[in-house]
């Protein structure tokens, strides 16, 4: 008898939906997943209503829980799902939207955008889904890497254990991209401390890595700091570490 297919769902709380598009943009490689797993929920391509007892083996969530309803939905989804996967930087660390924590701060930022109605708006600072629910896996990146999501699904369907190798962005940069090292050229590239798996697309495109996939478990921060000190003052380095909310993780590491 054929093995029962895994029930998979894709969900987004407040987001740009770029992670889902990174997956959909794979075209046929994405559509082929339908043979392997039961893709029951993905609102970009279907409009079924979720049954009260519907359950998922794997539920992917992109975005940040910035609405009360988002938090409620997340908790509901947690109950329905065997594995809850944080997909993308927003779900992982809070990502770009968590920038509202800095500079003006979240209240003044709200007052700037909504001068008349700001006091009535819900203004939550989400620094990762794990703030409100337990997460089983993280597929990081801004956006998440489409091929990594596919690999995750394939390995789960085969009953294998999924892991992201703890290798820096530099590893893939040197192996596949063979571009001149941006850090050596004097650009603040965070490749050495950042988790690879992205094929180093940023340095390959001339853009310094900003660690959207988060730091390596055993990142060598002192060495990175030394290299960056030669390039720019600490306050500028801090600003770069803010973009994808890596600064908060470095604080915890210290």
For the packed helices 246-253 and 234-243, what is the interaxial angle rounded to 10 degrees?
Answer: 110
- 27 near another protein, judged by CB under 8 A: yes
Give the end-to-end CA distance of the chain in Å, rounded to a whole number: 53
CB 17 within 8 A of CB 78: no
Q: How far is the CB of 184 from another protein (least distance, A)?
A: 16
**Closer CB to another protein, 166 or 175, in the complex:** 175
Q: How far is the CB of 228 from another protein (least distance, A)?
A: 16
Contact region for another protein (CB under 8 A) — 51-59, 99-107, 148-156, 221-229? Answer: 99-107
CA distance linking residue 231 with residue 59, whole number of Å: 42
- 106 near another protein, judged by CB under 8 A: yes
What is the footprint of another protein within residues 180-239 (CB under 8 A)?
201-202, 204-207, 210, 239
Residues 6+ apart with CB under 8 A from 95: 64, 88, 89, 142, 212, 244, 245
10 Å CB burial of residue 190 (0-12, 13-18, 19+) is buried
Residues that bind another protein (CB under 8 A): 12-22, 24-25, 27-28, 31, 34, 39, 43-48, 64-67, 69-70, 95-97, 99-100, 102-104, 106, 108-117, 120-124, 142-143, 201-202, 204-207, 210, 239, 243
């Amino acid at each position: 008898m054929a093995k029962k297919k895994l029930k998979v769902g894709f969900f987004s709380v407040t987001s740009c939906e770029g992670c889902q598009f990174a997956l959909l943009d794979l075209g046929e490689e994405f559509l082929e997943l339908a043979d392997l797993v039961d893709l029951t929920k993905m609102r970009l391509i279907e409009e079924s209503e979720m049954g009260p007892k519907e359950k998922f083996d794997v539920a992917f969530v992109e975005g940040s829980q910035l609405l009360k309803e988002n938090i409620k939905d997340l908790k509901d989804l947690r109950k329905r799902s065997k594995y809850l996967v944080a997909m993308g930087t927003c779900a992982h660390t809070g990502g770009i939207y968590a920038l509202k924590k800095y500079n003006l701060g979240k209240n003044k930022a709200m007052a700037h955008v909504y001068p008349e109605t700001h006091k009535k708006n819900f203004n939550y600072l989400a620094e990762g889904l794990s703030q409100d629910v337990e997460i089983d896996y993280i597929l990081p990146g801004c956006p998440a890497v489409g091929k990594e999501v596919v690999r995750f699904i394939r390995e789960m369907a085969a009953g294998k254990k999924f892991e992201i190798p703890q290798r820096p962005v530099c590893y893939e940069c040197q192996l596949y991209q063979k571009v001149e090292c941006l850090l050596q050229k004097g650009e603040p590239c965070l490749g050495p401390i950042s988790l690879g798996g992205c094929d180093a697309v940023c340095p390959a495109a001339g853009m310094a890595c900003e660690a959207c996939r988060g730091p390596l478990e055993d990142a060598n921060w002192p060495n990175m700091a030394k290299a960056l000190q030669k390039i720019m003052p600490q306050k500028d380095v801090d600003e770069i570490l803010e973009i994808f909310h890596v600064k908060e993780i470095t604080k915890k590491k210290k």
